[in-house]
Structure formats: structure tokens, C-alpha cells
Amino acid sequence: MGKKAYPRSKALLITADCGGSNGHRVRLWKVELQKLAKELKSEISVCHFPPGTSKWNKIEHKMFSYITKNWRGKPLISRETVVKLIASTRTTKGLEIRAMLDENAYEKGIKVTDEELATVNLVQADFHGEWNYTIVP
């Protein structure tokens, strides 16, 4: 989606919570971002929100209340239903969501070795480099 909207873009910025599968300490997250950076031939900068501050995430403020309004009173009977309701959400100012169901199967419990992690071309930012960094292809 981003390539169509921003065809001349040379980099990607991701803002992420500090926990879960995209947490700042998650080795697999960084290894997979390195693969994506190589595939896109673009730098990927990541800024993690400090622990307990995901409420500062702008998209949560802008969209989640509209999503819950949109599906209020509707039975959430399947993943497909949930995704369709999310995808049909619009704000009064015209902000919209694109959503699709990812039915891929993902392996669980993948362990990343020190050697694999060392292959990630990660440049820490001066300010809280553990939470703010760039992965270079």
C-alpha cells in the first residue's frame, strides 16, 4: 500500500509499542526487519514507545474509537467479520483504514541465535538507542 502512495520514498518509519512480538528486545523482530529492509532496498527506522505509553500512539487515538463505534451491536462471529468491520471504518474527517485477513501460518517458538542477531545492520539513535534505531539494507 505504501509503495503506491509514496512511490519515491527511500525509507520507512515504524512507530511501535514496546511489548509483544514487536518489542524492542525481540530478536526475531529485528532479524525479520533486516530481511524486509533488504527486500525493499530501504532503510527502516523504528521508534518504540516507552513501556506503558502506548496510549500516546496517534493511530490509537484517531481510529480505535471509530472502530468500536462501527462494530457496536454487531456480532463478531468470525475473523472475517471483524476485518470487514475494521476495513469499513471511516472518521468524520475522511481517515480510513485498509485491513485484510492474513491467513498465513507462522512458525511459533523461533529462536534467534547471537550469530543471526549479529547479522542485523542496526544503527542505534543517540537518544535511547535501545528504543530508537535504523536497520540498513
* Rounded-to-integer distance, Cα 26 and Cα 31, Å: 9
Spell out a b/e string for 67-83, using b for 16 or more CB atoms within 10 Å of the CB, else e: beebbeeeeeeeeeebe
- pLDDT of the chain, 137 residues: tens digit per residue: 778 888 888 899 998 887 788 888 899 999 999 999 999 999 999 999 887 776 667 777 778 888 888 888 999 999 999 999 999 998 888 888 889 999 999 999 999 999 999 999 999 999 999 999 999 99
What one-letter code names the amino acid at 74? Answer: K
| Domain total in the chain | 1
Range of the domain at 47: 2-135
What is the Cα–Cα distance from 27 to 111, expressed in whole angstroms? 8
pLDDT at residue number 62? 74
